[in-house]
Structure 1
Amino acid sequence: MNADFEAFKEYASWFIKKSDKVEFLDIKIVPLTLKFRKTFPCLASLIDASTILNLKINDQQYRLYSWTNKDNLSCGWLSKIECTENIKLNLIEEHLLLLSEIGGIQEFYNPPEGSLCENQNFVFMGSKCICGIGASIDYYQELCFEENKKPINCSDFICFSEEANGNLTLYDPHTKAVLLFAPDHCFDNVSFIENQPEFTFHTFDNIINFIDYVEAFASQWVDKIEITFQKEK
């Protein structure tokens, strides 16, 4: 019995069905590379402090990263381990680096309240990323037309995080700048983009690019957990 996995199952009760085949794997974790540590120092420290459980669910490999928060509760996320070579999108180097070393995040449990990961369907996961803003493009272009605003050419932007209500977090693969497309939000850390319809594209306060986003994401977890030495399972 793995206590962290049981805590994950209790929180994300919708994720694993009784019919699913779950197998714990005895795999030695490959240490984070120096390149990863230099690119994402806060995230690297967070990963170093995690308890790591490798597992398969219906033959798909996952990795459960867990910590103990300041309320003495197990918390963390489930990363899906995917081959980056199968990703056809134009992901930036830093995104691919993250995926190759810790995977993309499919589910969270007991996440920090008000954090970037709250209510997200996925974060960073390569197989879930899309180009552009999906079905929202018609809504966005119609608003731009009605308000006589020039639309942002977002067709090659990479959506790397999707909120349950449909809000999208994206980066421009050319500039690596991060934007939020959010017709429906209650964030207090974002700003409207000048000359754009309100409640469409936003910038995050204190987050300029993808690395900034990843490090802010990690910092929110560091603030909520009790850092311990890394353990492997």
Structure 2
Amino acid sequence: MMSTGGLITRAAALLPAAEKPPVTTPRDPAREAAERELSKPMYHQDDPGLFQRALDRFWEWVRNLFDHASGATPGGTLGLVAIAVLAALAVAALWWRLGSPRRTATGRDTLFDDALRSAADHRTAADANAAAGRWTEAVQERMRAIVRSLEERTLLDPRPGRTADEAAAEAAASLPDHAEALRAAARTFDDVTYGGRTGDAGTYARLRALDLALTRTKPLLTGPPA
């Protein structure tokens, strides 16, 4: 006769697989096993890269900033957009009125480069650039021709590092009838050289006419009488 323990063991063996007692794993080892499994490269092939994650964080920061700003601005988002449009219009108006910001004169903002050339050389270069349609370079060379010619006539002392504005102001003392034209020529030189503006045929024609007029003008004697 089979014992009670044997009957129980035989009955458990005859149970279907689904009815057997489940195998349980402690919580911490199960979590560690899941983490090891999920850390495999096969699960991360489609993850965004480092740059994409940084970009997503940046745009999230921009959205949060915009949300906070719109909440603090009268009229909410619409009011913030209106303020931004007005600010852009104000900047555009200043840019149109004043032109590109001029840089403060430095060692690289001087009128002449290191090469010493005569007024005739600068005029030749100016005309060659004008003939080729390079109006910005033509304007620059014609202004250099004007100042070099004044130096050759001893109306200006040759001075390295002189700017166009300084040359115009100094030349106005002996050529007062052309003072305004000289200042305008200096502004034009600065605009095309440092202000991002482009020369044109009309601008070059005005500087060329000024250059020719100055060569025919007798300077005002400012020194003591002989």
Question: Which category of TM-score, normalised to the shorter sequence, fits these structures?
Answer: under 0.3
After TM superposition, the score normalised by the length of structure 2 is 0.20
After TM superposition, the score normalised by the length of structure 1 is 0.19
Task: Using CA pairs under 8 Å that are at least 6 residues apart, name the structure with larger relative contact order, 1 or 2.
Answer: 1
Structure number with the higher strand fraction is 1
Structure number with the higher helix fraction is 2
Find the structure with the greater CA-based Rg.
2
